[in-house]
Amino acid sequence: MNTNEQSWHDKFAELETNIHVWWRQQRQYTLTEIEEAVDAELAQLRQQLVEDLLGEMSCQEPDMSKPLCPACQEVMKPNGKKKRRLRSKEDQVIELNREQMRCPACGMTLFPPG
């Protein structure tokens, strides 16, 4: 089991513990309350897993040494790693650090696909 797999295993275990702690507080919940509690825990776990996977993917990005600017077709240059915030389909904010590219001719910046 690699480090990320162990980390995910730990996160699943923490989710289970959190649900059991919540459950022991009262033990008389409606179906809706149970679903909402489980969904809230799963949403946090989902966000962490997506961030981890995107982080791994950015470490394995294809060679972007000669991408062309979509505006002027000049060769773009690395502009350093920048923090990028994305919004998931579940409306969660996902943060990752990715290499940003900059066109020396027109100044356009972009994050490579992936």
Between 51 and 109, the higher pLDDT residue: 109
The residue to which tokens 């059991």 are assigned: 20
pLDDT tens readout for residues 2-31? 667 778 889 899 999 999 999 999 889 999
Kindly report the pTM of this predicted structure: 0.57
pLDDT tens readout for residues 40-90? 999 889 888 888 887 776 555 555 557 889 999 999 999 988 888 888 887
Q: How far, CA to CA in Å, does 62 sit from each of 43, 50, 55, 57, 113?
A: 30, 19, 14, 10, 9
The tokens of 45 are what?
Answer: 């776990």
What is the distance of C-alpha 33 from the center of its chain?
A: 27
Question: Mean pLDDT across the stretch 94-108?
Answer: 89
- DSSP string of 35-64, one letter each residue: HHHHHHHHHHHHHHHHHHHHHHHHHT----
Note the pLDDT of residue 114: 47
Each domain of the chain, given as residue ranges in start order, spans 1-60, 65-114
pLDDT tens readout for residues 77-92? 999 888 888 888 878 8
